[in-house]
């Protein structure tokens, strides 16, 4: 049982700390985008402030706060700098995955004697896995490992072939000394979310012991054992650690994009109060009806995005708690309900940013303008797998009672 670094810390205090980070995040937006991830100064505040331990179990020195606390913190960090929100969310959230699904021995080893676990994760299988005594020899390149420059570990996916029949999907964890971060992110190497730390990870002949590996079968969409829950619920006595991931991951995107939309509104409102109309330079833009309508529409979509994101994460939390109270397992239908609500949050937030970008005027097309940055950032969700038609198709399959294809179902 590891001690919490700051006993008595509350969710409200953590959210206040996230808000207080906003000026520094905004000041460093350009340099963090060029670097590809946030600065050491920001990292020190996140570590000292307990941000990486929000969802970490108390047993391993975490605060085990509600899922909603984490979502609210992400949104506040993203409001300061969207890419930093993405980087933080994807580095801080996978301790929750570890706590939900890895064995007790694996959790003890990976959280370590200090409880310092920060891990990027990629869900697409990659690399080679050669069986050896007690584990596998692993090699491969895993792209888009968002958050990896600020992490202690990497969590990847793969396919193993130990017996006749179809390959077995797995997730595995390796510590920092067993991977290399490739210099393929940051600056002009990406269109948007340039500071999200979404570098590729290269692993070369690393030994991964069996206790650092789990089966990936259906972890994303449904609870496998209605009676026992997961290793995490048994170890930590908290139904939050059912860890059904697909809907939850989409809630994180909802928080990132809601924060991005708030950042865009902050910038647009400042423009309305400080800049003059092109054809009436005696009058501030805030008195122009067209700009007033535009601000109102963006505010409406942003508030809808925030409300939908919180509704989705509360629904997911209630699904976990329902199992704890009544033994009703989280089904694929449940998961896609969470995904659907949070996906609509993401869409509304993207629309808010895009309409402000289009209506702000040609001057914001210049490099370094915040609204241009926020517009490019939301496009990275538009092209992300979670926003593609595949996931709507999966929801349709569930609704019709048809089987889900691997890796989402059997």
DSSP character string of 90-143:
HHHTHHHHHHHHS-HHHHHHHHTTTT---EEE--S--SEEEEETTEEEEEEEE-
pLDDT of residue 409: 76
Do the domains at 11-101 and 240-400 have one common CATH topology?
no
Between CA 15 and CA 321 the distance in angstroms is 24
Nearest to 343 by CA among 405, 214, 410, 254: 254
Measure the CA–CA gap between 329 and 332, rounded to whole angstroms: 10
User: How far apart are alpha carbons 357 and 58 in whole angstroms?
Assistant: 43
Please give the CATH architecture assigned to the domain spanning 11-101: Orthogonal Bundle (1.10)
CA–CA dist 79, 332 (Å, integer)? 32
Task: Give exposure, 142-171, as e/b (b: 16+ Cβ within 10 Å).
Answer: bebbbbbbbbbbbbbbbbbeeeeeeeebbb
Would you give per-residue pLDDT tens digits along the chain (410 residues)?
899 999 999 999 999 999 999 999 999 999 999 999 999 999 999 999 999 999 999 999 999 999 999 999 999 999 999 999 999 999 999 999 999 999 999 999 999 999 999 999 999 999 999 999 999 999 999 999 999 999 999 999 999 988 788 899 999 999 999 999 999 999 999 999 999 999 999 999 999 999 999 998 778 999 888 889 999 999 999 999 999 999 999 999 999 999 999 999 999 999 999 999 888 888 899 999 999 999 999 999 999 999 999 999 999 999 999 999 999 999 999 999 999 999 999 999 999 999 999 999 888 888 889 999 999 999 999 999 999 999 999 999 999 999 998 778 76
CA distance from start to end of the chain: 37
Residue 330 per-residue DSSP state: P
The position carrying tokens 């008195």 is 287
**Separation between Cα atoms, residue 387 and residue 378, nearest integer Å:** 11
Backbone angles phi, psi at 132, to 5 degrees: -145, 175
Ramachandran class of 144: left when φ > 0, alpha when ψ lies in -120 to 50, beta otherwise = left
CA atoms within 13 A on the CB side of 4: 19
Q: Quick one: angle between helices 332-359 and 245-274, nearest 10? A: 20
How far is 88 from 219, CA to CA, in rounded Å?
23
Superfamily of domain 240-400: Butyryl-CoA Dehydrogenase, subunit A, domain 3 (1.20.140.10)
What is the reported pTM?
0.96
Q: In 124-254, where do the E strands start and end?
A: 128-132, 135-142, 153-160, 168-175, 180-181, 201-209, 213-215
Tell me what percent of the residues of the chain surpass a pLDDT of 90.
89
Domain boundaries, the chain: 11-101, 119-216, 240-400
At 342 the pLDDT is: 98
**Closest by CA position to 244, among listed 337, 117, 162, 381:** 337
Cα dihedral 181/182/183/189 (nearest 10):
-120
CB of 169 closer than 8 Å to CB of 155: no
Q: What CATH number labels 119-216?
A: 2.40.110.10
Q: Token pair for residue 117? A: 């676990």
């Amino acid at each position: 049982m590891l001690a919490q670094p700051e006993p008595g810390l509350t969710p409200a205090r953590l959210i206040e700390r996230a808000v207080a980070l906003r000026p520094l995040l905004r000041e460093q937006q350009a340099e963090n985008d060029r670097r590809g991830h946030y600065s050491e100064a920001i990292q020190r505040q996140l570590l000292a402030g307990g941000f990486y331990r929000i969802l970490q179990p108390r047993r391993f020195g975490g605060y085990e706060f509600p899922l909603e606390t984490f979502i609210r913190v992400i949104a506040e960090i993203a409001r300061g700098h969207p890419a930093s929100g993405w980087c933080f969310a994807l580095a801080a959230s996978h301790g929750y995955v570890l706590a939900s699904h890895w064995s007790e021995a694996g959790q003890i080893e990976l959280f370590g004697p200090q409880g310092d676990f920060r891990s990027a994760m990629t869900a697409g299988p990659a690399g080679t896995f050669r069986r050896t005594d007690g584990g596998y020899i692993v090699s491969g390149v895993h792209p888009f490992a968002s958050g990896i420059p600020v992490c202690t570990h990497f969590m990847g996916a793969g396919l193993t072939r130990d017996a006749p029949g179809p390959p077995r999907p797995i997730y595995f964890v390796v510590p920092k000394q067993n991977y290399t971060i490739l210099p393929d992110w940051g600056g002009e190497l990406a269109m948007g979310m340039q500071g999200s730390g979404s570098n590729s990870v290269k692993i070369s002949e690393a030994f991964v012991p069996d206790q650092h590996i789990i089966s990936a079968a259906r972890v994303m969409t449904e609870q496998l054992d209605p009676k026992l829950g997961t290793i995490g619920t048994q170890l930590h006595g908290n139904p939050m650690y059912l860890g059904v991931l697909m809907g939850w991951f989409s809630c994180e995107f909802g928080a990132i994009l809601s924060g991005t939309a708030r950042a865009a509104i902050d910038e647009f409102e400042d423009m309305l109060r400080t800049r003059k109309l092109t054809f009436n330079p005696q009058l501030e833009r805030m008195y122009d009806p067209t700009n007033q309508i535009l601000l109102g529409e963006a505010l409406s979509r942003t508030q809808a995005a925030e409300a939908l994101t919180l509704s989705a994460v509360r629904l997911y939390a209630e699904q976990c708690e329902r199992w704890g109270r009544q033994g009703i397992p989280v089904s694929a239908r449940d998961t896609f309900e969470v995904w659907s609500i949070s996906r609509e949050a993401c869409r509304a937030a993207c629309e808010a940013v895009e309409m402000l970008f289009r209506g702000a005027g040609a001057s914001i097309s210049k490099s370094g303008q915040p609204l241009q940055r926020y517009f490019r950032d939301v496009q990275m969700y538009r092209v992300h797998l979670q926003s593609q038609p595949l996931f709507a198709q999966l929801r349709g399959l569930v609704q019709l009672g048809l089987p889900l294809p691997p890796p989402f179902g059997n």
